[in-house]
Amino acid sequence: VETFAFPAKFEAFDEQKNFITNRNFQNKIVLLDFWIKTCGLCFQKFPQVQAVYDKYKNDPSVAIYTINKLVEEDKPNQVFEMIKEEGYSFPVVIPTDEELPEKFGVKGYPTTFVISPDGRIVYKGDIEGAVKMVAELKLNTR
């Protein structure tokens, strides 16, 4: 498995203004799904993101976040509302550093990452592959 170095500083906030940082990922399998509001494919993939979130939401060894990059006139509260209106309950966070997706090497949306419990990026690609990688890591970290 090819691994990538994790960006030194990860900081984002959720709807309740809680900060999510690298510390939230320690010793966990982490799935990060990067998306933007104008991305049709992102919304097509959200049912799969919701399904993996539903599967692992009560598992303390797995953390799942969708990361929205604000574009143009986007306001954070609009993004949070839009996801709720679509009927999704997966966590949405907004990076404090608008360059965070680029620091991860995101070139297009959606892009999904899986981070191993030891903090390495072990997967970069689509949600389907990410779901398989999370399941594989779960088997190997029992």
Determine the Cα–Cα distance for residues 51 and 14; give it in Å rounded to an integer: 20
Cα angle: 3, vertex 4, 8; to 5 degrees: 140
Helix axes 40-56, 127-140, angle to 10 degrees: 20
The predicted model gives 60-69 an average pLDDT of: 97
Helix (H, G, I), strand (E, B) or coil at 33: strand
Name all domains of the chain by residue range, CATH numbers in brackets. Answer: 11-137 (3.40.30.10)
Give the tens place of pLDDT for each residue, 27-57.
999 999 999 999 999 999 999 999 999 999 9
Q: Supply the pLDDT for residue 2.
A: 53
pLDDT for residue 8 is more than 90: no
Using omega within 30 degrees of 0 as the cis cutoff, is the peptide bond preceding 110 cis? yes
Determine the Cα–Cα distance for residues 31 and 48; give it in Å rounded to an integer: 12
Using a cut of 0.85, tell me whether the model's pTM lies above it.
Answer: yes
Sequence-distant (6+) residues with CB within 8 A of 57 are: 64
pLDDT for residue 73 is more than 90: no
Q: Supply the pLDDT for residue 5.
A: 63
